[in-house]
Amino acid sequence: MSDPIDEDLYKRTKALLEPGEIELNGVIVRTELTSAEEPTLHQATLDIGDVIGEAAGFDPAETYVYSGNDDPDFGVNQHQGLTLDGDEFVWECQQLMRDGTYDVVFYYEAGADQAAIVEGVEELGFDATGVEGD
């Protein structure tokens, strides 16, 4: 396991989960991927999205990823997992370059199985820190 997630990133992630229209939880995923490995980062994002979707009760075959480069209201490294029928929210993430490698912050509805998400991300070979909303 690599170094623990820094406190600033944890606090910033927690702030994203503050009460809004829906209750959210999150997971911070630490990778060792650099900007030269963006295709691998893209695939990891899809795989982690599938883990989250399954833990939230969605069939990954019934979801798709809406990316920041598709919409001027999104950042280029911001992505959403949505359902095919009705564009229901499944998850959202931001890929953050920190100290030369990417950390990815995902958030999703609090009803998803948080323990299964952290475990599933770790099974993919990444360090994961769960962050629960209030």
Q: Which domains does the chain have, with CATH numbers?
A: 7-132 (3.30.70)
The whole-angstrom separation of Cα 86 and Cα 26 is 23
Q: Which one is predicted more confidently, 71 or 106?
A: 106
Residue 121, classified by CB atoms within 10 Å of its CB into exposed (0-12), middle (13-18) or buried (19+), is buried
Residue 2 CA: distances (Å) to CA of 29, 51, 81: 11, 21, 27
Asked whether the predicted pLDDT for residue 5 surpasses 80, the reply is no
Least-confidence region, from 41-50, 54-63, 94-103, 104-113: 94-103
pLDDT at 2: 45
> pLDDT-derived band of residue 36, with 50, 70 and 90 as boundaries?
very high
Per DSSP, the residues of 6-65 read PHHHHHHHHHHTSSSSS-EEEEEEE----GGGHHHHHHHHHHHHHHHHHHTT--GGGEEE
Closest listed residue to residue 117, CA positions, set 103, 102, 105: 105
Q: At what angle do helices 38-55 and 114-123 cross, to 10 degrees?
A: 150
Quote the pLDDT of residue 8: 78
Q: Which of 16-20, 22-26, 27-31, 115-119 has the lowest mean pLDDT?
A: 16-20
> What's the average model confidence in pLDDT over 22-47?
93
Tokens coding 128: 């994961």
Its pTM stands at 0.85
CA distance 62 to 39: 23
Give the pLDDT of residue 1.
41
